[in-house]
A and B are shown apart, each in its own frame.
Chain A
């Protein structure tokens, strides 16, 4: 079955880049997602990447996908205090993309002033 792993905690100084890593086991993943959860809130989709892509950039966010190693990363440039949150990676193995997502445990990002 699918398994998605992330480290639980990451601390970064304000202004530095944050890199959050994720590994997954199912090589038939079609879409891979990054979600952000702020305290007391639901999940907000940050970005996603289709499995035939290596990289996707969206403003301060860069997603890198290494299919051979089944490794996904999210880089946040110029990290700000508003980036403090829990970040979840998720994979979908569906051809449609959306009926079943498998989530990692989440990485809590703490910003050091």
Chain B
């Protein structure tokens, strides 16, 4: 089954404690992205990747890092999380011209 998986689905952490949210897709897609969803703001792109070792900033990259060492994986790293990074995070993947497939979301709370 074609899918994008994210782990964990829910995470509560404390300010400053490094965390990684994993994202994996099984569709051999070139493109992968991370978004955050906040009430009244819709989805905003954090980072995207057009292929292995090719990443670029989206609209709200501050406080986040990504890497794309393998085609299927695109982890999101928060080196020093802060409460304003409390949000719902979505990973997505697509081929160059096809539909974007979204993961189920990771709800992160930073206290």
Contacts and interface: CB of A to CB of B under 8 A. Distances in A.
Nearest to B6: A42
Interface in B11-46: 31, 33, 35, 40-45
A45 B100 contact: yes
Interface string A48-78: 1000000000000000000000000000000
Contacts of A44: 102
Contacts of A97: 96-97
B103 A105 contact: no
Contact of A98 (B4, B40, B100, B102): B100
Contacts of B41: 105
A41 B35 CA distance: 14
Interface in A57-113: 88, 90, 96-106
Contact of A42 (B31, B96, B104): B104
Contacts of A106: 42
Contacts of A10: none
B102 A43 contact: yes
A98 B94 contact: yes
Interface in A1-53: 4, 8, 41-45, 48
A88 B43 CA distance: 9
8 contacts: A42-B102, A96-B96, A98-B94, A101-B100, A102-B45, A102-B59, A104-B42, A106-B42
Given A45-B99, A101-B33, A105-B42, 11 more contacts: A41-B104, A41-B105, A42-B103, A45-B100, A88-B42, A98-B100, A99-B33, A99-B48, A100-B58, A103-B42, A104-B42
Q: List the 3 shortest-distance A-B pairs measured between CB atoms, nearest first.
A: A42-B102, A103-B43, A103-B42
